[in-house]
Structure 1
């Protein structure tokens, strides 16, 4: 396969498709809620996908477009080509490429494409002289399936933090997941059992923010698919079991300047953080309530964000403990200086979550915001009076409060763009409205025979 209209990267993808015997391509994109969608095409359509794009009906994707604006085109990013590990065989294989969504009537990027929203944030960073690196730590649970193949909330192990076999029965599953991820180009740093029974974490290396967001979507897809091969259900639901730790997606962020140096590092600061870093984290703290609607986007997210289960709920930062919203991790070398936003969870749309974190941080830099002093004590042990003394606010208590905060924050709404901002708020208001009229089993147990 050769064409003079292709870039060298696109041609390399066509060559690999032929060499690897790829018969189908999954052209993936992400909807506003962060759900990965795909259009499957025969591999022989790959060149057409590069030169013309693949058309699809955007009106069928919830929150995308009105029916009269439904013609959308998928433009595959050749840098994201990978062979799907669970479809590989001696005879044939399936490939995957992540796509940008193009509005066919204008030829411009579709403003409802979350990947485009992140690209806009990265363009702003570039204009300010920075590139953005990020690394998430998405946690997940593995549950048994019932006889009909449906998910239960019964874990397949009784392990705890960093446990090994026999308590950690999922080590083989994590191994297969890691092999699958590595075959798709991931550089895995570590994997381990998390605090709760059935809870796990697999960490992959720092990368540019766009690649990182792409990787989160791929990670969730691979984890679910390979878990299913072991007759297990993997879920990134933040709090699937009451009264135990939920799943977070701690997100590490740093900026590199035009000389390739870490813009977050300073030898002259007690915490080895530059003024740029202090202003960036101050921006996140300033806009944290609104960001939470995006980084913690479900009703269930706020069952995790409660005191007592290691989840951060207090708008503060620290260099020592994990009770604060943002932590400054220890760094062995200047290049590793970074901040860790501890409040996002793995149910979020990674493009939108990163975009809002980055835009808030860049706003902090542009406005010259000053970060408050770090809180080195355990905030979980503070009473309300002491929190007021320290000037520590709390995150929204539920999705309704978070959406209200988002509606009032022009900076974060602007980061999302008019289309996604309005559609996201509409969807989340509906979700919260449906939740508050439901009657839970807890309420029946508490009140049915009492009153």
Structure 2
């Protein structure tokens, strides 16, 4: 995969104002993301467009989890003009209210300085770090999601929209029309979609993005989730990115294909290298493996994430790499040349895309800077290896639950430094609280198992 020869021209404030007028846009959404990965927005009417484009719209940061305290709550939304787009019409009613456009914003302090708790800022800092080393990371993602029926009062259920399986066609695959609608809307917004298909589990779907620079990829993931949920809502369905909504079937992942470029050339490619990979590629993979435990709390952030990371459902639990099978944490797809890349397989779509990609980039760059060597690639099915065989090949496992994952995050100085003190403190506190709440709850499984027995 090679970067596009031509990048989109950077729009100016004046050209956006003109387009807003020409397209008769009624509302402009100023979008940002909180520490936990929830997309937020402040919507302004036409009379405020000029003010919004100047970065003069304030909001109460103390109302957003993990941002600021009440006594220091005023924050500004600084729009990234390159992210301007017009949303498609999701419904007739919405069309009658007027067109809506959006800009993704960086969060700044009142004096214009970047807010260190802004996840987008965290990723931008790692992108700068890579650039200082002469690299640019490109990312292609494969997010999965479920489509569920809604109950009589509109509430969500886990009744799947269909009973289809991997790569099935309509009429068994009842989600085909919705996937096409989602893909069409994304394409109209400037996305490049490589493929879409039904996934393994009933009601489960996947839409794959063409690679793009890391920051753009994170922006696209955030927008993609909104479009999927909004389109499903129009069809009376619930779209869920929960990693494991149904026991006994495959969960939803978000495999990330990572590559580094320098001067338009893929630096992972080396026909003379082992497995056709460069020394840089080996070092980057070694960094991913070395920090896998530490970044799992970021790439797999929910209590529910660890219900997916269990043996038997193709989700990776083994910290190893391979060039031939999907049981390893990192897989090197077969194509070489410009398409040479490393596929990280444990992330799930509930993650904050900015923090997750920042952690991946930080891990890979650390491997390069420290000139790490990965262990030998394992070409066998790791799921079928014995405990003794795994020990022989130095194969460790990912954290088993969120508490263990947060413990590992706090030990990992490289990932912690990449996130920054503000994000680390608030993220860890939120996840510790989530685990305590989960641990104190009485679950139906416990009642079914023990109520009559003891």
TM-score range, shorter chain: over 0.9
Give 1:109 deviation, angstroms: 0.5
In the other structure, the counterpart of 1:400 is 403
Q: Find 2:108's aligned residue among 102, 105, 110.
A: 102
1:32-69 Cα offsets, whole Å, 9 max, x none, are: 00000000001332221222421111000011111111
Shift of 1:19: 1.2
Q: Is the 8 A contact 2:55 2:79 kept in 1?
A: no
From 307, 310, 318, the equivalent of 1:306 is 310
Query: 1:413-434 deviations in whole A, cap 9, x for unaligned?
Result: 0010000001000000000011
The equivalent of 1:39 in structure 2 is 42
Q: Which residue, 379, 389, 394 being the options, matches 1:391? A: 394
Residue 181 of structure 1: which of 170, 186, 207 is its match?
186
Secondary structure at the aligned position of 1:284 is classed as helix
SS in 1 for 2:152: coil
2:124 aligned with 1:119: yes
Contact 1:325 1:342 in 2 (8 A): yes
Q: Distance in 2 between matches of 1:170 and 1:340?
A: 27
Structure 2: distance between partners of 1:434 and 1:323: 32
**Aligned residue number for residue 437 of structure 2:** 434
After TM superposition, give the deviation of residue 124 of structure 1 in Å. Answer: 0.2
Q: Residue 125 of structure 1 contacts residue 362 of structure 1 at CA under 8 Å; is this kept in 2?
A: yes
Work out whether residues 31 and 114 of structure 1, in 8 Å CA contact, stay in contact via their aligned partners in 2: yes
8 Å CA contact 1:86–1:226 kept in 2: the answer is: no
Q: Secondary structure in 1 aligned to 2:102?
A: strand
TM-score, normalised by the number of residues in structure 1: 0.96
The residue number in structure 2 matching 1:4 is none
RMSD (Å) for aligned C-alpha atoms: 1.2
Mapping for residues 347-366 of structure 1, pairs under 5 Å: 347-366=350-369
Deviation at 1:260, TM superposition (A): 1.4
Distance 1:250 1:52, change over 3 A: closer
Task: Please point out which of 25, 28, 34 is paired with 2:28.
Answer: 25
Task: Report how far residue 147 of structure 1 moved.
Answer: 1.1
1:107 Cα shift?
Answer: 2.0
1:33-432 aligned within 5 A: 33-86=36-89, 89=95, 92-104=98-110, 106-257=111-262, 259-331=263-335, 333-432=336-435
Q: Given that residues 14 and 46 in structure 1 are in contact (C-alpha distance below 8 angstroms), is that contact kept between their aligned partners in structure 2?
A: yes
Alpha-carbon deviation of 1:182? 1.1
Is the alpha carbon distance of 1:397 and 1:41 closer, same or farther for their aligned partners in structure 2, counting shifts above 3 Å? Answer: same
The worse-fitting range, judged by mean Cα deviation, of 259-268 and 289-298 is 259-268
SS in structure 2 of the partner of residue 428 of structure 1: helix
- Structure 2 alignment gaps of length 5 or more: 1-9
Q: Aligned partners of 1:117 and 1:417: how far apart in 2? A: 7
Instruction: Please state how far the C-alpha of 1:440 moved relative to its aligned partner.
Output: 1.1
Return closer, same or farther for 1:296/1:43 CA change in 2, 3 Å cut-off. same
| SS of equivalent residue, structure 1 residue 271 | helix
For residue 197 of structure 1, give the secondary structure of its aligned residue in structure 2.
Answer: coil
2:166, 2:199 within 8 Å by CA — same for their partners in 1?
yes
Aligned residues: 442
Cα distance in 1 for residues equivalent to 2:429 and 2:46: 38
**Structure 1: distance between partners of 2:102 and 2:71:** 29
Secondary structure of 1:192 counterpart: strand
Question: How many angstroms apart in 2 are the aligned matches of 1:273 and 1:8?
Answer: 38
CA distance in 2, matches of 1:156, 1:349: 26
1:52 & 1:98 partners in 2: Cα distance? 11
CA distance in structure 2 between the partners assigned to 1:156 and 1:46 by the alignment:
40
Contact 1:137/1:201 (<8 A) preserved? yes
Deviation readout 1:230-258 (Å, 9 max, x if unpaired):
0010000000000100000000110111x
Deviations 1:82-103 (A, max 9, x none): 1111357377301111000001
Deviations 1:169-226 (A, max 9, x none): 1101111111111111111111000000000001111100000000000000000000
Q: 1:155 to 1:8 in 2, by over 3 A?
A: closer
List 4+ stretches of structure 1 deviating above 3 A. 86-91
TM-score, normalised via structure 2 length: 0.96
Q: Distance in 2 between matches of 1:214 and 1:272?
A: 32
